[in-house]
């Protein structure tokens, strides 16, 4: 399992951590419910936040049914965040069979 899973893209322009499609949060948490995985770190305040030089990684994944989930950690090589069922979803999410 990969220990550090980078967030390679964020297409959620109204997230305070988004800086030109790069996530400035030190780490994100994937939450949501069984039919999709939501970026639980999404904040829409109109204020730019985050760290200026840090690209986010996935800190935890609450979606145990995702095929990339290993002991509540993300095992994907990278994740993409963007609009889905909610404003900010994990687009790398794959429901395991």
* Distance separating alpha carbons of residues 22 and 69, to the nearest angstrom: 23
pLDDT of residue 72: 93
Q: What is the largest CA-CA distance in the chain?
A: 40
Sequence length of the chain is 97
pLDDT of residue 52: 81
Q: What is the mean pLDDT of each run of 10 residues along the chain (97 residues)?
A: 84 94 94 88 90 86 94 95 93 90
3-class DSSP state of 14: coil
- Would the pTM of this model clear 0.75, i.e. be above it? yes
CB pairs under 8 A, 24+ apart, for 67-72? 67/94, 67/95, 67/96, 68/92, 68/93, 68/94, 70/1, 71/1
pLDDT of residue 2: 61
């Amino acid at each position: 399992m990969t220990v550090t899973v980078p967030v390679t893209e964020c297409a959620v322009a109204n997230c305070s951590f988004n800086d030109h499609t790069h996530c400035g949060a030190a780490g994100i948490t994937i939450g949501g419910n069984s039919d999709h995985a939501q970026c639980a770190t999404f904040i829409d305040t109109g204020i730019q936040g985050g760290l200026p030089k840090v690209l986010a990684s996935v800190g935890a994944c609450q979606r145990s049914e995702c095929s990339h989930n290993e002991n509540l950690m993300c095992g994907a090589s990278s994740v993409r965040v963007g609009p889905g069922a909610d404003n900010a979803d994990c687009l790398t999410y794959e429901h395991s069979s």
